[in-house]
Structure 1
Amino acid sequence: MKGCDASVIISSNATNKAENDHADNLSLAGDGFDTVIKAKAAVDAVPSCRNKVSCADVLAMATRDVISLAGGPSYAVELGRLDGLVSTAASVGGKLPQPNFNVNQLTSLFASNGLSQTDMIALSAAHTLGFSHCTRFANRIYDFGGRSGAVDPSLNRTYVTQLQAMCPRNVDADVAINMDPVTPRTFDNQYFRNLQLGMGLFTSDQVLHDDARSRPTVEQLGRQLRRFQQCLRRRHYPPRPCWC
């Protein structure tokens, strides 16, 4: 799992379970990968362009376009990534934040990739788009802490009722829930406002506001959309060159 070589697009086969079949990648949309593969095929159909553009670069550009089309900032994409040829589910463990992580665990994981706590908070707002599955947060809305009928006290009670309606006990694991219940298709700073209302879907979301060390950044980014976008641009856009 190298992160920038599109290895997550590679499918499993009879002898290998690939990254995209690891439980941590359950919410990655297969039709999104199909779009990248079709775009790559269209480029390769032009003889002079064949094998000149990688799936990894197409994925990076598609990400930029989705963000821009959803109302977020646009940015230049530095190209030159090489596609990976190896993808194993075993390589995923310990590389991605878990839904039950606290601030210490989140900060440590991002620090191992050269990112600060402020970087981590800003990047967590990727949850302004996308979805998760009920099984990833069911422990917060049913029998929290092993107590029958208990719910996570950090959750907004109205939000709990909504989540329980969409995710009844023993619901099919494939049921998808928007990460941002307010503006799920808009790239904005509503994510941070949701946290202030107790509407972070994961524990790892809500702790960003509940922990006194990260709360000031959450509140600042929740107040100022421009500040949020500037934070992203200054720290991560355009992306660092990625030679896999």
Structure 2
Amino acid sequence: MDLIIDLQKPTQKLTRNGLQSGGRRYDVPLGRRDGLVANQTGANLMLPAPFETLGNITRKFEAVGLNITDVVILSGAHTFGKASCATFRNRLFNFSGTNAPDSTLLDSSMVSVLQNLCPVNGDGRQTTALDWNSTENFDNHYFRNLVNGRGLLESDQVLYSSDEAISTTRSLVELYSKNWQIFLDDFKHSMVKLGNIQPLTGSSGEIRKNCRVVNS
């Protein structure tokens, strides 16, 4: 998405424009500070992994003030991007000790393609699109994939196919799979909430002169 900033007006909002790919324009407040240290271990504890249950994913979101609707909406960002074989190969051959692919992968042609792409003894670095058959547009195709058993990551498909989803997220997935406009409108609101998680205030953090390094 394009970033448009008027440096002469520091109090204005930053506008993200995803119109070229089909997204919505939305504003987020400027001024969030950068941290002074990097903590990959801490970040990994907070971020959902591709293999987690829906319950674990939901608890991680709730811990930072996001709700079950945000879980579904923000997962829709997987309409873009790629994943490596290492993040989903467990679903293709011997899922949970069954000696078979994950039963929620209902598209047999997709399973065959992915098995060829990601062999059992491969290095796991090969990648493929998260949004199967719709890689260039910001749309609701990701949710249609889930309904049809084509979610690439286990953490995607659990939003629709897990037992937990029946009473929590499945109805939202179905809603967004049918209504592109509602998804786009809800997505921009959840993105603003995401950007406002635990901002550094007071004397904490800094505004970096070079975003790659801490100020000297």
Q: Same fold (TM over 0.5)?
A: yes
Identity %: 35
CA distance in structure 2 between the partners assigned to 1:239 and 1:167 by the alignment: 33
- What TM-score does the superposition give when structure 2 sets the normalisation length? 0.77
Give the Å deviation of 1:239: 6.5
CA distance in structure 2 between the partners assigned to 1:241 and 1:93 by the alignment: 19
Give the Å deviation of 1:175: 1.2
Which residue is 1:112 aligned to? 63
Give the alignment's Cα RMSD to 1 decimal: 3.0
User: By percentage of residues, which structure has more strand?
Assistant: 2
CA distance in structure 2 between the partners assigned to 1:128 and 1:183 by the alignment: 7
Decide which moves more: 166-175 or 186-195. 166-175
- Asked if residue 212 in structure 1 is aligned to residue 166 in structure 2, the reply is yes
Which residue is 1:184 aligned to? 135
Task: Supply the AA of the counterpart residue of 1:153.
Answer: S
Which residue is 2:183 aligned to? 228
What are the ranges of 5 or more consecutive residues in structure 1 without an aligned counterpart?
1-35, 37-42, 54-59
Give the Å deviation of 1:238: 8.0
Indicate conservation of the 8 Å contact 1:140/1:152, yes or no: yes
- What TM-score does the superposition give when structure 1 sets the normalisation length? 0.69
- Asked if residue 201 in structure 1 is aligned to residue 157 in structure 2, the reply is no
Indicate conservation of the 8 Å contact 2:54/2:158, yes or no: yes
User: By percentage of residues, which structure has more helix?
Assistant: 1
Decide which moves more: 170-179 or 188-197. 170-179
Which residue is 1:39 aligned to? none
Report 1:86-105 matches (<5 A): 86-105=37-56
Give the Å deviation of 1:207: 1.1
Task: Supply the AA of the counterpart residue of 1:222.
Answer: S
Which residue is 1:142 aligned to? 93
C-alpha distance after superposition, 1:66-117 (max 9, x if no partner): x443211111232112222311322223111111222211211111111111
Match of 2:120 among 169, 175, 181: 169
Indicate conservation of the 8 Å contact 2:24/2:184, yes or no: yes
Indicate conservation of the 8 Å contact 2:143/2:177, yes or no: yes
The 3-state SS of whatever aligns with 2:83 is strand
